[in-house]
């Protein structure tokens, strides 16, 4: 793939090919810890790909055999009561960009996904992990509570009780256990997380983008009351019904052929 965005060392490589936008966290010397340049470039990459009609699905992976070792603890020495709140709000834009992206986001996890890296992966719609990948909250081990939306995303994925036990214990969880607990969707052999994520992405790239976006947006609001759920469903489905993709899907069904969706 040819990069469409040049990045400084320790940032994010961005590509877009065949409808698949790929963001590679590229700070391997620090196991892709969330340095300030990496944070800024990931936020920008998610915004650009999320708004690009040519991008149908987004894949996030890490360089150098690891996904992300979490926050840059060395860079936290400047945090204090005057700046911590604003800096955290800025960091939250990373996971907000994932959850609110109007298209599927797939995490390809090799090596470690710890702290903020675990939170980033958990915010994605689908997580593919190598068999030897390791997940940990780690926040409690340095005197912090989980952040970057981890308490919300993991409760949605694993259920409240299991998420509480994982986040409060600081335990390290292997890929198999993470799959069984609902944290991730699929386990592959080492070195195959990104190829498998790209394979999944190729499938999503042929689907009705707007229908996927509305399904994702709906489920991100869970839990909600039944009446609210039905109202939101009616609004979102009406928007799908008047889309070009539904017209194509209906025509393809009647003509007994495969649909060609254009994301409109």
Domain ranges of the chain: 3-204, 209-254
**Arch. (CATH architecture) of 209-254:** Orthogonal Bundle (1.10)
Share of the chain above pLDDT 70, in %: 92
Please confirm whether the linkage preceding 138 is cis (ω < 30° from 0). Answer: no
pLDDT at site 80: 59
Cα separation, 250 vs 194, whole angstroms: 33
Question: Would you give the DSSP letter of residue 173?
Answer: E
CATH of 3-204, one of 3.40.190.10, 3.90.1150.10, 3.10.180.10, 3.90.226.10: 3.90.226.10
Question: What pLDDT band is residue 142 in, cutting at 50, 70 and 90?
Answer: confident
Max alpha carbon distance in the chain (Å)?
Answer: 64
pLDDT over threshold 50, residue 7: no
Task: Report yes or no on whether pTM surpasses 0.95.
Answer: no
Copy the structure tokens of residue 2: 């040819």
pLDDT at site 6: 42
pLDDT at site 5: 45
pLDDT over threshold 60, residue 136: yes
Q: What is the pLDDT of residues 248-263, one digit of tens each?
A: 888 888 899 999 998 8
């Amino acid at each position: 793939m040819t990069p469409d965005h040049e990045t400084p060392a320790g940032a994010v490589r961005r590509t877009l090919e065949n409808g698949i936008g790929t963001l590679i966290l590229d700070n391997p010397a620090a196991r892709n810890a969330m340095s300030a340049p990496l944070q800024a470039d990931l936020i920008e990459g998610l915004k650009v790909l999320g708004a690009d009609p040519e991008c149908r699905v987004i894949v996030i992976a890490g360089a150098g055999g690891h996904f992300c070792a979490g926050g840059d603890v060395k860079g936290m020495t400047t945090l204090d009561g005057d700046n911590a709140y604003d800096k955290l709000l800025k960091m939250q834009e990373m996971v907000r960009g994932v959850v609110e992206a109007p298209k599927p986001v797939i995490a390809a996890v090799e090596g470690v996904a710890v702290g903020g890296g675990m939170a980033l992966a958990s915010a994605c719609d689908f997580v593919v992990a190598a068999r030897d990948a390791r997940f940990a909250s780690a926040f409690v081990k340095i005197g912090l509570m989980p952040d970057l939306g981890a308490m919300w995303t993991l409760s949605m994925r694993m259920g409240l009780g299991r998420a509480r036990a994982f986040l409060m214990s600081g335990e390290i969880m292997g890929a198999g256990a993470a799959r069984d607990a609902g944290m991730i969707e699929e386990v592959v052999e080492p070195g195959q997380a990104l190829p498998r994520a790209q394979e999944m992405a190729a499938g999503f790239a042929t689907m009705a983008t707007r229908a996927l976006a509305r399904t994702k947006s709906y489920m991100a609001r869970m839990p909600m009351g039944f009446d609210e759920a039905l109202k939101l469903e009616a609004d979102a489905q009406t928007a799908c019904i008047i889309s070009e993709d539904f017209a194509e899907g209906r025509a393809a069904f009647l003509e007994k052929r495969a649909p060609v969706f254009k994301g409109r």
